[in-house]
């Protein structure tokens, strides 16, 4: 299981199971139906040691579901190629696969994030020096803190599902703390 897999047609790098997106909607009679069903599309980063999939975004709160306005906005954001970690005034659902032994750079988003460990074990490292090992089913509630994710396994991929929600600027002790993507993100700034 620890061998480095090659990219599949959807850009997936890891040997973890492919995930699928089911977006619901309504038929003309108001009955629930599946509007869209497809595999997650993955984008590799950092020398194929990290991969992101973004199944959905919203661009306002509360989102407008009428006439599939939310789906249209999501499609436009994804087609633009300019999505940072956070979508200003909205949310981002992002799944992240971490290669064995991979550590992302220390970073901060201006957002409230829910991170659910789906596969493997990862260390959540905070800039205070605190380190907490998280296992499948554990949830991190990141409140605009400076942090890093480390897959300590030398053989197994890890996977985290995140929901990132834009938030007001964070002020601690009179100092404003905004987004800090570190030096190795390869992502555009979120602009929030």
Q: What pLDDT does residue 91 have?
A: 98
Q: What pLDDT does residue 23 have?
A: 98
Q: What pLDDT does residue 184 have?
A: 60
Please name each of the domains of the chain with its CATH number.
Answer: 45-177 (2.60.120.10)
Q: Quickly tell me which residue has 């620890």 as its tokens.
A: 2
Q: What pLDDT does residue 30 have?
A: 96
Q: Is the pTM of this model over 0.85?
A: yes
The one-digit pLDDT tens for each residue of the chain (192 residues) are 344 445 666 789 999 999 999 999 999 999 999 999 999 999 999 999 999 999 999 999 999 999 999 999 999 999 999 999 999 999 999 999 999 999 999 999 999 999 999 999 999 999 999 999 999 999 999 999 999 999 999 999 999 999 999 999 999 999 999 999 987 667 888 999
CA distance 41 to 57: 14
Cβ–Cβ < 8 Å for 132, 123: yes
Task: Tell me if residue 139 falls in helix, strand or coil.
Answer: strand
Torsion angle of alpha carbons 181, 184, 185, 187, nearest 10°? 100
Q: What pLDDT does residue 8 have?
A: 64
Cβ–Cβ < 8 Å for 164, 86: yes
Task: Tell me if residue 67 falls in helix, strand or coil.
Answer: helix
Q: What pLDDT does residue 3 have?
A: 43
Cβ–Cβ < 8 Å for 116, 161: yes
């Amino acid at each position: 299981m620890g061998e480095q897999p090659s990219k599949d047609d959807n850009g997936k790098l890891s040997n973890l199971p492919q995930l699928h997106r089911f977006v619901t909607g309504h038929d003309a009679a108001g009955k629930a139906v599946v509007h869209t069903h497809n595999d997650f599309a993955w984008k590799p980063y950092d020398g194929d040691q990290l991969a992101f999939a973004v199944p959905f975004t919203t661009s306002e709160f509360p989102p407008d579901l009428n006439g599939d306005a939310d789906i249209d906005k999501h499609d436009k954001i994804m087609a633009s190629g300019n999505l940072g970690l956070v979508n200003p005034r909205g949310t981002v659902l992002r799944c992240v696969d971490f290669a064995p032994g991979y550590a992302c750079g220390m970073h901060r988003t201006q957002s409230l994030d829910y991170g659910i460990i789906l596969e493997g074990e990862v260390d959540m490292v905070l800039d205070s020096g605190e380190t907490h090992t998280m296992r499948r089913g554990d949830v991190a509630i990141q409140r605009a803190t400076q942090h890093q994710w480390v897959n300590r396994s030398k053989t197994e991929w890890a996977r985290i599902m995140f929901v990132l929600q834009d938030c007001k600027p964070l002020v601690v002790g009179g100092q404003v703390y905004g987004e800090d993507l570190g030096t190795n993100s390869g992502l555009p700034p979120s602009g929030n």
